[in-house]
Amino acid sequence: MPAGHVNHMPATAAMVPTYPPPESETEEAWVWGQIKAESYRDAESEPALASFLYATVLSHPSLARSLAFHLANKLCSSTLLSTLLYDLFLQSFSSSPTLISAVVADLLAARHRDPACANFSHCLLNYKGFLAIQAHRVSHLLWGQNRRPLALALQSRIADVFAVDIHPAARVGKGVLLDHATGVVVGETAVIGNNVSILHHVTLGGTGKAVGDRHPKIGDGVLIGAGATILGNIRIGEGAKIGAGSVVLIDVPPRSTAVGSPARLIGVKDKHFPHDDLPSESMDHTSFIQEWSDYII
């Protein structure tokens, strides 16, 4: 660069991509490399965090070990020791490769969809929605292994620490974002598909004391706004959008919007307004307002 020349390159030009470049290694290796590089940088710029970052990230050889260590220290108590939890989490991640694949997909989802997520290490270390989902995946694995008392004990600790209450039997896909996450409740027979985005204070609940299959089924690519309540064994179709504060008691067709209390489908009679993209990816919470005024019955 010539003497006296000032580099006016915008900051965005030097940004790390939110997805692995085509020539990268596996997604897990690329994301783990990004997390370590970010942690080295943060340790140098903020010495107060150096010991924490070394203990939680930089001293570990893999994403699985780092996450197991971090979750164990977050969820331990005086009677549920961190050493026990670390062994439990690490064994679960090691024995089920799909768990780590889901971890990576969730990290990519947060980095791509949440403008407040500046880097992968921030999500790994500080996003309680991300951490709650990863801990739930282990409790779900335990539930399937018929280790149900331990699965329920882990659910209780997740609810206490992260304010996210997901029953161990609930099935959760990958690429899921719990944005802010506080107050999210997911019932026993609920199913959440892949690439779903859920805001805080969302309930996927039942309608009473009935047993059996009684909770919502959320399709791939769905966006559920803050404070929405979805009750009963109903289906929210792929790419649908649930407006903030809505109370949904009916099936929602794919790529439709439901809004209100009780929720109504935007459209005229059976012609519901379709979305051109997946709302869980765009995170667009407001476009339905104009659609509502134009298409409401």
Q: CA–CA separation, 62 vs 29, rounded Å?
A: 9
- Residue range 197-203: average pLDDT? 97
* Residues 232, 257: Cα–Cα separation, whole Å: 18
Question: Which helix or strand (DSSP H or E) is residue 242 part of?
Answer: strand 241-242
- Give, as one character, the DSSP assignment of residue 279: H
pTM assigned to the model: 0.86
Q: Would the CA dihedral through 113, 117, 119, 124 be positive or negative? A: negative
| 166 exposure class (CB count in 10 Å sphere: 0-12, 13-18, 19+) | buried
Read off the pLDDT band of 14 (50, 70, 90).
very low
Q: How many helices (H) and strands (E) does the chain have?
A: 10, 17
Q: Rounded mean pLDDT of 167-196? A: 97
pLDDT at residue 23 tops 70: no
Q: Which are the contacts of 291, defined by CB distance < 8 A and separation ≥ 6? A: 257, 266, 273
d(CA 86, CA 90): 6
- Tracing tokens 């944005």 back to the chain, one arrives at 179
Per-residue pLDDT band for 274 (boundaries 50, 70, 90) equals: low
pLDDT for the residue 19: 62
- 154-159 LR contacts (CB < 8 Å, sep 24+): 154/75, 157/75, 157/77, 157/80, 158/75, 158/132
Q: At what angle do helices 82-95 and 63-75 cross, to 10 degrees?
A: 140
pLDDT tens-digit readout, 46-98: 999 999 999 999 999 999 999 999 999 999 999 999 999 999 999 999 999 99
In 3D space, the residue among 164, 141, 137, 167 whose CA is nearest the CA of residue 152 turns out to be: 167
**Is residue 297 scored above 90 in pLDDT?**
no
- Residue 208 has what pLDDT? 84
Query: Quick check: 31 and 18 in contact, CB under 8 A?
Result: no
Residue-level pLDDT at 281? 74
pLDDT interval class at 5 (50, 70, 90): very low
What is the gyration radius of the CA atoms in the chain, in angstroms?
A: 21
- Check whether 2 has a pLDDT greater than 60: no
The mean per-residue pLDDT over the stretch 179-189 comes to: 96
> Which structural domains are found in the chain, ordered by start?
26-163 (1.10.3130.10), 170-296 (2.160.10.10)
Residue 1: predicted pLDDT: 43
pLDDT at residue 177 above 50? Answer: yes
Rounded Cα gap, residues 93 and 65, in angstroms: 9
Question: For the chain, how far is it from start to end, CA to CA, in angstroms?
Answer: 63
Per-residue confidence (pLDDT) for residue 21, from 0 to 100:
58
Give 36's pLDDT tier (boundaries 50, 70, 90): very high
* pLDDT score at 209: 83
Which pLDDT score, from 0 to 100, does residue 9 have? 37
The mean pLDDT of the chain is 88
Q: How far apart are CA 283 and CA 192, in angstroms?
A: 17
Q: What's the pLDDT at 56?
A: 98
